[in-house]
Structure 1
Amino acid sequence: DVDEMDAAGINPYTDVLAEADYRRHFGHRFKHPFTGLDYIDLYKSLAVDGNIEVVMANDYRAALRFAPHVLVANIHDRARLKRQLLKAGAKTAIGLDDLLTKPVQGSGFNPDYGLLGSNQAGEARLKLFPRDCRPFVESVRQRLGELTGRKIEVMVYGDGAFKDPQGKIWELADPVVSPGFTDGLSGMPSEIKMKYVVDNELAGLDQTATAEALRQKIRGKSADLIGKEASLGTTPRQLTDLLGSLCDLISGSGDKGTPIILVQGYFDNFASD
C-alpha cells in the first residue's frame, strides 16, 4: 500500500527492507487482495531448515549485497535485468526462462520460455507454458476449414494484457499473450478515430452524408496511419494482444472452465457490407 509506505516514511524506489523492518512497520496486516495470502509467509514456508531470508527492494541491484548469484524472476524486463546485474558485478544472473529449456530425466520443457508462464499443477508438479503452438494452430485452422469451408484464424492464448483497476495487479504474468497464432493475426489494426474525423472533417454534414463520408474514409484509408491526424486518440496494439485479452476476460480457468472462444465479426467495421 503506497499510502502506508508514505506514512511510514519509506521510499519504495530506494529503501531496502529486511523482514523485521517490514513487520515492524506493517505487522501481518497486509495480504494479497484477491488470494488473502501473506506472501512472505508463503515463500518462507518453502524453506528447508529455515534457509530462506526475505529482503524487499525495488532496486534489483540490492540483491548483490546478499549473494553474487541471482535468479531473475521478472518476466517482461528479464533480459535487461540480467544484463544490468552482470554489469553491476553479479557472478551469475539467470532467469526463469533459462530453466527447463530442455527435458531433464524425461520432464516437460519449453525451449523458448523455460519456467516462465508456468502454473502449479500439484504439490510437486508444474504445468509449463505451451510450446509447439504454431503447428497446432495451423492444424486446427486446416481442420476447421475442411469442416466449414471458411477461413478461420486460430490462436493459443494465456493471460490477457490488462491491469486490474481495483487491485492494481498487472494480469499479464505470461511471457507473451499468445505463443502461437496463424498469419492473419499478425500486426496491429490501422484505424481512424471516427469522432475526430466527424468533429474536424465532416462537421456540418447531415447524418446520412456523414455516415457515407465515414465509409469512404475507412475504405480509402492508408494501411499505416501512425502519426496521422485521423488516427489521433486511437491506441494501436498487436492483434493477438487485443484478441487474447478479449478471450481471457470471457473464459478464465475458474468456474467457467477454459473453453474454446469463437470470436466473430472482429475484422468488420463501419464500412463493412
Structure 2
Amino acid sequence: KAKFGDNTIGVIFPILSRNRFAVCLKGIAMGAKKIVLMLSYPSDEVGNHLVDLDLLDEKGINPWSDVLTESKYRELFGKSVHPFTKVDYIAYYKELITSAGCACEIILANDCRAILPYTPHVLYCDVHSRARTKRLLTAAGAKTLYGMDDLLTGPVDGSGYNEQFGLLGSNKATEDSVKLFPRDTQPVVDNIQKGILEATGKQVEVMVYGDGAFKDPVGKIWELADPVVSPAFTRGLDGVPNEVKLKYLADNDFAHLSGTALKEAVSQYIRSVDGDLTGKMASQGTTPRRLTDLIGSLSDLTSGSGDKGTPIV
C-alpha cells in the first residue's frame, strides 16, 4: 500500500502456485482496492499450464498478440485445471483477491504492455524475465512500477527481509506468512569450508541451494521458481566443467584402439587437457552448465522437501 496507494494495481505474470505465490497474492490484495491480474498463457514462465497449446491453435488464438478477458477465456476453453494439482488457478486466484475485500479483473496476455490500458501502476511478478519486463514497461510509460524483488527488501514492523531478492523465491510457511529466500549465506559457506579445513585438513567446497533447474519432460514444468539455484557458494564452485566427449574420442581419435589400450589413451588425453575446450570438437555435446546449477539440481532432486524417505543433504 505504501508503494501503490489506492491506485488500481496491475499484477502481472505471477507463477501459478499455491506454495509460491498464493500467500503473496493474498497480502497484495489486502493492501489494494482493485487488482487487474494479468496471467501469461498457455502457461506461466516455469511451465504451469492454463490451457494446452494445441487448443490455442484449434481456436485460432495467437498467444503473442491476443489479449483475452476472463469471460472470453471461459467461452473458448471452459474450466481448465492444472494437470498435476487439479486447481483452476483463474478461479483460485480470483477468490484469493476478492476474499481479501479487493475488486478483481482478470486478463490473459503475454506482452507485459497489455496491462497499461487497464492501469499504469504495475507490479510485475515474473522471476527470470523480470529485467526485460521492467525495461519494456518503463519505456511504455508505466507510472508506478515495482517487481517482487522490490517488496520486503527491508524489515516491516520487525519482519524478515531480503535486500537483494525481496519476495522472489519465497515459499508459503503458513496460511498468512511466507519464508523468504535465504540471505547472508556467503559467510555460512565460507565458515563451513574453513571449519572443515581446520578440523580435517581437507579443502571441501560448500554451497547453499534451493530449487534445482530440472525441467520435467512430461509435465513440461521447469522447477526453478527461485531467482537463482545457489545464492552462495565457495570459490571452487565458480565456473563450468571443462569436459571432453568420451564417445567422440573413442570413435575418432582412438578408433583404432580397444580395451585397456583405449582406456589408457582416453585417460592420458584427459590428463593432458590444457585450457578452455569451448568450441573444440572433442568437447561437442558437453553443454557447459555452471557447476552450481548442475550440483544444485542434482541435490534438489535427491533431497527435495517431500516425504519420500530421501536423505538430508
TM-score, normalization: structure 2? 0.80
Deviation at 1:223, TM superposition (A): 3.1
Q: Distance in 2 between matches of 1:92 and 1:260?
A: 43
- SS of residue in 1 equivalent to 2:304: coil
Gaps of 5+ in 2: 1-51
Match of 1:21 among 68, 72, 75: 72
Whether 1:229 and 2:281 are equivalent positions in the alignment is yes
Q: Distance in 1 between matches of 2:311 and 2:108?
A: 39
Give the structure 1 partner of residue 86 of structure 2.
Answer: 36
Query: Is the Cα contact below 8 Å between 1:137 and 1:180 reproduced in 2?
Result: yes
Q: Distance in 2 between matches of 1:200 and 1:157?
A: 39
Aligned residue runs from structure 1 range 159-174, under 5 A: 159-174=211-226
Match of 1:75 among 127, 140, 158: 127
Give the structure 1 partner of residue 20 of structure 2.
Answer: none
Gaps of 5+ in 1: 262-273
TM-score, normalization: structure 1? 0.91
Deviation at 1:14, TM superposition (A): 1.1
Give the structure 1 partner of residue 62 of structure 2.
Answer: 11
Q: Distance in 2 between matches of 1:204 and 1:76?
A: 47
Deviation at 1:93, TM superposition (A): 2.1
- SS of residue in 2 equivalent to 1:46: helix
- With CA pairs under 8 Å and 6+ residues apart, which has the higher RCO, 1 or 2? 2
Query: Is the Cα contact below 8 Å between 1:177 and 1:244 reproduced in 2?
Result: yes
Q: Per the alignment, do residues 23 and 85 of structure 1 end up closer, same or farther by CA in structure 2, a change over 3 Å counting?
A: same
Deviation at 1:258, TM superposition (A): 8.1
Whether 1:196 and 2:217 are equivalent positions in the alignment is no
Query: Is the Cα contact below 8 Å between 2:212 and 2:224 reproduced in 1?
Result: yes
Q: Distance in 2 between matches of 1:197 and 1:259?
A: 37
Give the structure 2 partner of residue 134 of structure 1.
Answer: 186
Q: Distance in 1 between matches of 2:145 and 2:308?
A: 39
Q: Distance in 2 between matches of 1:144 and 1:31?
A: 49
Aligned residue runs from structure 1 range 257-272, under 5 A: 260-261=312-313
Report which stretch shifted further, 54-63 or 202-211: 202-211
Report which stretch shifted further, 252-261 or 234-243: 252-261
Give the structure 2 partner of residue 270 of structure 1.
Answer: none
Matched residue pairs, number? 260
Query: Is the Cα contact below 8 Å between 1:160 and 1:241 reproduced in 2?
Result: yes
Give the root-mean-square deviation of aligned CA atoms.
1.5
Aligned residue runs from structure 1 range 178-189, under 5 A: 178-189=230-241
Tell me the percent identity. Answer: 60
Match of 1:45 among 79, 95, 117: 95
Q: Distance in 2 between matches of 1:250 and 1:76?
A: 24
Deviation at 1:222, TM superposition (A): 2.4
Give the structure 2 partner of residue 65 of structure 1.
Answer: 117
Q: Per the alignment, do residues 109 and 258 of structure 1 end up closer, same or farther by CA in structure 2, a change over 3 Å counting?
A: farther
